Structure 1
């Protein structure tokens, strides 16, 4: 009787372990969601870029099924890696220069001779845009026009220079450098030399470096 009971128990145990031995290989994919933010400020003269921060992740795991003593058991392995980064690029657009370019292009297109077979219309348009019949302007008139243009440019440069001084007094040398650069594009003579000297004497703000290093990472 004792031998029969042991044999029955062995059969039941073998049947119970068979599903574990014959289990098919399977793969499980679990989606992961993560996000992070970076708060900082970047100052650039005209354009530039900077690398702010990044997050790298890696993980691995092992899971065992069944008993290692009976029929070897089953093991599952898994690994995962991910990387994310944040960068910033900035470009300052000179809208006044863009507007001047558009106006100049429009004037050139208006003054261009029209295409077509009407020779008389083409000659008439050429006569309208030419200086024939208007007389040659005097040297004084030309100097007066140049003086007005230079005066307008000096006034505009003075406005940008004033903004640069205010930014420099407020402890923002990077912003002041931008305003001084725009003023130097429009100034001439001694005023331009003064502005360039101010730009050369500016020291970078230590707060800008601290702000660039400040970042907040969340998972």
Structure 2
């Protein structure tokens, strides 16, 4: 009976060991945070970034013992930079209102200040001169209709002397078109 009890106890023990799960060790590395403060002054351009410094390094260890080998590696890096964006809402308002006034052709902005239209005037003068040249080229090539389109633009946007030239050419073209029958 003792042998039977011993066999039963032994088989129960072996059965319970065979159902036991083998647990595996899993390492989880959590990030670490460090807070610090620095009292310094740096010059950063608007919408720019300046690196204040960085550091990095690594280490590697190796352990050999008869029958087992272990290797460990560790690396770290850190850096600090500063970014700056200056938002001047008053300046942005002035720019938007001045641009709107230029597009309207106003002499003063909404605050009563004179509007600088020199760039716009220069651009219009360049366009009028280009249209005058294109009109003369088209007229020389016998394309009276196209020349008339360019001369009309010069008459509308050109300087006083350019307007006089364009109006004279328009009169000449229209008189020649009136004489010549359409084809």
TM-score by structure 2 length? 0.35
Give the structure-1-normalised TM-score: 0.29
Question: Relative contact order (alpha carbons < 8 A, sep ≥ 6): 1 or 2 greater?
Answer: 1
Larger Rg: 2
